[in-house]
Structures are given as structure tokens and as C-alpha cells.
Amino acid sequence: METIIVVIFILGYLAITLEHSLKVDKLVPALLMMALAWACVAIGIDGFETWFDSAKHSLMNGTHGTENFADLLHDNKMGVMESTLLHHFGKTCEILIFLVGAMTIVEIIDHFNGFSTIKRFIKTNKKSTLLWIMCILAFILSAIIDNLTATIVLITILRKLVPDNKDRIWFAGLIIIAANAGGAWSPIGDVTTTMLWMGEKVSTLELIKYLILPSFLCMLVPTLIASLMKPFRGNFEAPSNEGEENSKGPLMLYLGLTLIVFVPIFKTLTHLPPYIGMMLSLSIVALIAEVISSRQFSMSSIKNEVSSNENGHHQSPTFGALSKIEMPSILFFLGILMTVAALESLGLIFTFGKDVQNAMPLNVFVMLLGGGSAVIDNVPLVAASMGMFEFIKDDPSWHFIAYAAGTGGSMLIIGSAAGVVAMGMEKISFFWYLRKIGWLALIGYLTGAGSFLFLQQYIF
């Protein structure tokens, strides 16, 4: 039965990788392989010799004082399976609720056109200067609102500054590298770092200490090289400003970003799971947004009455934000994480991790994992690594995994969520990115990895 489950995972993952060719959203194979994998676990429960207890992080194989799973009765095995399933579902939902909260705050900010505030700070018509501004903004913003959202925001702003798509795709390529680098050093900057942080593998301050410099170099070196290249020479002509701005936009931008940054502080102070802090931040942002919207509604009730819907949500920013969040991504993460949990529960990932540690140096494996994240989504790779290794919290290896998985995906445009969304927004060709941007991302990845290994060896 283990073989069947592994085959289901491989076929499902192949379908996810070929999403654009099959024209089937990746959430479909992710959810399908999750359901089939756990169904096979339930059907073949009596045939499994070992079971991985995720709560205790040990195999139930009769060694080290643990109970032998093979000796348990059928009902007891089903009980163990159900408790394990509930454990993984709970941990997965913590991550998903956290992401829903962050996405909703970002959508509320966007409801008030808050991100247009950033455009006011851009006062140049030189391409090279604009490149530096965009990459630095991507590096900082992605650490706060995650790399995917930062990429969407900055490409949207870029469209208002650079009208020519042939020029704009060069900027978009470097934004992808910078956004992925910025997301790697923050516990809320990338799904994978959020997973490691919420899984108690890394802490906020140690993650920043270990990865801020490698991530910065991963952004700095490609940007420096690109600024000397022909596409970023000369000037650009920005179109005249158009569209009305919301006077409350700056307030909601600064409030939203501040409260997202507050989440790690809340966790440090209370030791509660991060999603509790995110729900607190969301409730404050939503409250302020509703108060502002209610006042605007009462002042212009005739104008807004036309757009009021039958449920009474008179342009409610919270209701609107919840309807816009990326639910397909949430369901995709659910399917992937729970499928990996099924493989982990059978002890397959744990055993593979032991074999890897015996076969090659760990740092080499992590470097390969970063390269693999350019081809395979980094979420299951990190989820699998969390089940492979038994390192203590804040072991340098966890931080290196966070860096490699977060930045390695920049080498291919399909290797990260930021790359995929940029590909869709700007119609960037896979092979164009590979030829023009991929080598810059590789240089940045290797530079950052080298600096991490140097710091680990001689500084920390």
C-alpha cells in the first residue's frame, strides 16, 4: 500500500507541475491526491509495520520505549490514525487561517487604494534608478505582506509608470528575484518561512539574524548586475496621473502594515500561535475600515445606495476583501500539506531523511533542495524536510532550508508564486525568463548561500 500512496503522490505532483499544459488548476490534483492518499492509509492500516508519531517526532516501531505499531489491534490503529490526522489538520489549519488573515488585511488596504501611496515616493524617470527603487521596495514589502502580494502590488504600480510591456518585463523579472529574497528572511514573508516559524523550527529574531544578509545579497548582486545592462539604460516617460485617490488610503496602508508586523511581536509576548495575533490584527483593521466606510456611506448615501447589495453589505471593505482572497491557493496548500502528512505518518519521509543524512553532506542536500524548488513547488519540499530532520529549534540547518526554498524558486519563473503571478500579469515567456533572468537569479542564489555558509562557519 505504501507503493500505491507514493505513486499517487508522484502522479498528483506531476499534474501540479504540468498545470499550464493540462489547463487544470493545481488545487484539483492537490485535493484529489490528499483524499486518495488518506483513503489508502485507512484501507491498508493493518498492513503497516511502522507509524510516525508527529506529536512526539518518533517512529512507533518498538524501539526506544515506543509501542510497536504492528502489534496494535485494528481499532487501536484506527484510533492512532484518526488522532494523527486531526493533529496534522490542526497544524495545517493554523497556517491556512494565518494566511487568510494576512490576505484579507492586504485586500482591505487595496479596497482603499492604499498601495497607490507608494507611487508618490517614485520621483525619477531614469530606468536604472527605478530598478533600484522597485527591487528595494520588493525586498522590504515582501517581508511584510509576503512575496506574492508584493509582486502584484509593484507590478500594478509599474504599469502606471512604464507603459511599454517590452521594458516592463525586465523590471518584473528583477522584482521576482527581490521579492523572493525579501520573503526568505521574514517569518511572514513566504509560506515556507511561515510554516517553519509556526512549526517551531525557527524563531523570528534568529531567522532575521541568520538570513537578513544572505537574502539582501541575493537581491543586491542581481540588481547591481542588471543595472549595468542595456535594458536599464536611459530614461522612461511615465504617463500622466489618472484615476482618483482615496484620502484614507495612506492611513489604511500604514495601519495594515504595522499590524501585520505586530503579529510576530504578539507571539513573542504571549507565546500564543501566530494565527491568534493575525486575527487580532485583522479585527482592528476591519473595525477601522468599517467605521470609515460607514461614515463615507452616510455622507453619500444616494450615490452608494445603488451599489448596495441585497445582503446589506453596503460596500463593506471586509466583505469585499473576503470575497477577493486567493481561496484556490488556500485549498492548494491544504491538499499539499495534508498529502505530505500522509507520507510522513507512514514514516516514509523520516526514513528518507535518515538516508539522505548518511549519503551526502546536509548543506549539499539543502542546496539541491533550493534548486529543486525552482522546478517543484517549495511548499511540499519544506513540509517534507520538516518531517525528515530532528534538528533543534533555530538550528542553522532550518534557516538554510528557509533561505534555499525561498530564493531558489527565482531561477525559473514557474518556481515561485511570485514568478507565476508575474508570468500571468505580464505574459512573460518561460524561455525568455530562463535566458534573460534565470542566470541572474542563480548568481544571487549562490551568492546568498555562500554568505550564509561563511557566516555559519566563522561568525555564528
Q: What is the mean pLDDT of the chain?
A: 84
Specify the amino acid at residue 191. V
pLDDT at 234: 84
378 or 11, which is more confident?
Answer: 11
pLDDT tens figures, 241-280 = 555 567 888 898 899 889 988 988 898 888 888 889 989 9
pLDDT at 351: 77
Looking at residues 150-169, what average pLDDT do you find? 85
pLDDT at 301: 45
pLDDT at 59: 74
pLDDT tens figures, 64-110 = 556 778 778 888 888 888 888 998 898 889 888 988 888 888 888 88
pLDDT at 398 over 80: yes
Q: 297 falls in which pLDDT band (50, 70, 90)?
A: very low
pLDDT at 207 over 80: yes
pLDDT tens figures, 317-330 = 777 777 777 788 78
The full set of domain ranges for the chain reads 2-87+328-458, 95-327
pTM: 0.77
178 or 16, which is more confident?
Answer: 178
Distance CA 404, CA 214 (A): 10
pLDDT at 10: 87
pLDDT at 315 over 70: no
pLDDT at 55: 67
394 or 148, which is more confident?
Answer: 394
Collect all residues with Cβ–Cβ distance below 8 Å to 14 and sequence separation of at least 6: none
16 or 45, which is more confident?
Answer: 45
pLDDT tens figures, 437-459 = 999 999 999 999 999 999 988 87
Looking at residues 132-141, what average pLDDT do you find? 93
pLDDT tens figures, 353-397 = 778 778 888 889 899 888 888 877 677 788 878 877 878 889 999
pLDDT at 418 over 80: yes
Collect all residues with Cβ–Cβ distance below 8 Å to 205 and sequence separation of at least 6: none
Residue among 377, 395, 372 at smallest CA distance from 445: 372
Q: Which three cell numbers stand for residue 111?
A: 479596497
269 Cα distance to chain centroid: 24
Give burial (CB, 10 Å; 0-12/13-18/19+) of 405.
buried
Highest mean pLDDT among 108-117, 205-214, 232-241, 423-432: 205-214
123 or 101, which is more confident?
Answer: 101
Check if the beta carbon of residue 327 is closer than 8 Å to that of residue 356.
no
Looking at residues 59-63, what average pLDDT do you find? 69
Looking at residues 193-211, what average pLDDT do you find? 90
Check if the beta carbon of residue 408 is closer than 8 Å to that of residue 147.
no
